[in-house]
Structure 1
């Protein structure tokens, strides 16, 4: 069993992305997006994603629809939907997200978006088979 106080774990996180738990069918990840930062437009062809916002403010774009997000909001992104999340506030945008199936390498820690992008492009951030 993995037991966490997820909002506390997310708030303590200074890394862009940190995988907290990977199961057979889902994965739990915390993220901290700095002011003026973003996740980056992406599509997960075979992965659903649920994002829950812990603190900060931002803008969610999913398949062209835009919506402001803040603490307590949850956004569901179906597989195949183009999406991006942008920090529009002066403080970090902190969130946790659940992927189904897993999207990243088990235990992955990406200090910055640039590091995350580099590891993804090089094939070093692949989910378990």
Structure 2
């Protein structure tokens, strides 16, 4: 879904997510960059991804697990996940929503 947009309003992203019926929706691509919005429903069932990933927490709080490390997150936090790493959100509030940014080559940047 290549686009020339340079702004993605949060309200528009949340409406698109709600209307999709999914836990995430792709919003923008440019080169290797892919932007999504993600709102897991009770359980985060993610599997490791093939590219590097950055989360920017929009709302809610909880715990983020990256491999064997656990950290608390809240709105505004930025979380980095290298390609192939086991990760998930746990004990998150009902209002948890995060931007997701995938970028770079398959296998991650070196």
Q: TM-score, normalised by structure 1?
A: 0.65
Could you tell me which runs of 5 or more consecutive residues in structure 2 were left unpaired when the two chains were aligned: none
Could you tell me which runs of 5 or more consecutive residues in structure 1 were left unpaired when the two chains were aligned: 104-129
Structure 1 vs Structure 2 CA RMSD: 2.2
Q: 1:31 and 2:38 equivalent?
A: yes
Q: How many residues align?
A: 99
The 2-side partners of 1:17 and 1:72 are apart by: 19
Following superposition, the deviation at residue 63 of structure 1 comes to: 1.3
**Partner deviation per Cα, 1:21-52 (whole Å, 9 max, x = no partner):** 12221100011123x232x24212x4000001
Match of 2:90 among 86, 91, 99: 86
**Partner deviation per Cα, 1:70-115 (whole Å, 9 max, x = no partner):** 11111000112111123522x2311111001489xxxxxxxxxxxx
Q: TM-score, normalised by structure 2?
A: 0.75
